[in-house]
């Protein structure tokens, strides 16, 4: 493999880098039999994905906060790639995307 991607120097500390590392860890864990993966939300979620989901259900972070109780500032951190949502947040975002009404109903 001589035509592999050029990773530059400290690219591990980038979104792509984290995704890559996460994938490797996951693959190794799986190989070790530590994980019985049926399907999981353990991958990291890119900032673009977060914004995509938010836009799907709310015009602005503020509106999103009103509907789903997630602080707008926190959401913004995710959307801007400053922070990466943790597992619980990723699961919640997934649920919100696929069935926003169910979430609102639970919070009403």
The site for its own copies (CB under 8 A) is made up of 38-42, 66, 68-71, 74, 85-89, 91-92, 94-95, 97-99, 102-103, 105-108
Residue 103 contacts DNA per CB under 7 A: no
Alpha carbon 37 to its chain's center? 18
State the minimum distance, in angstroms, from the CB of residue 84 to its own copies: 12
Should residue 14 be labelled a site residue for DNA when binding is judged by CB under 7 A? no
Cβ–Cβ contacts within 10 Å for residue 85, how many? 21
The tokens for 77 are: 């951190």
Does position 56 interact with DNA (CB under 7 A)? The reply is: no
User: At its nearest, how many Å lie between its own copies and the CB of residue 52?
Assistant: 16
Nearest of 53, 58, 37 to residue 92 by alpha carbon: 53
Q: Running DSSP on this structure, what letter comes out for residue 4?
A: -
Under rule CB under 7 A, residue 77 binds DNA: yes
CB of residue 38 to its own copies, shortest distance in Å: 7
Q: Which of 19, 15, 35 is nearest to 81 (CA)?
A: 15
The contact set with DNA (CB under 7 A) reads 59-63, 70-74, 76-80, 82-89
């Amino acid at each position: 493999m001589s035509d592999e991607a050029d990773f530059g120097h400290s690219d591990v500390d980038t979104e792509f880098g984290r995704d890559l590392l996460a994938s490797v860890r996951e693959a190794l864990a799986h190989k070790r039999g530590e994980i019985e993966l049926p399907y999981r939300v353990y991958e990291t979620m890119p900032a673009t994905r977060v914004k995509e989901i938010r836009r799907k259900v709310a015009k602005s972070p503020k509106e999103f906060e009103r509907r789903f109780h997630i602080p707008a500032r926190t959401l913004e951190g995710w959307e801007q790639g400053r922070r990466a949502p943790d597992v619980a947040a990723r699961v919640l975002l997934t649920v919100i995307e696929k069935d926003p009404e169910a979430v609102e109903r639970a919070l009403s």
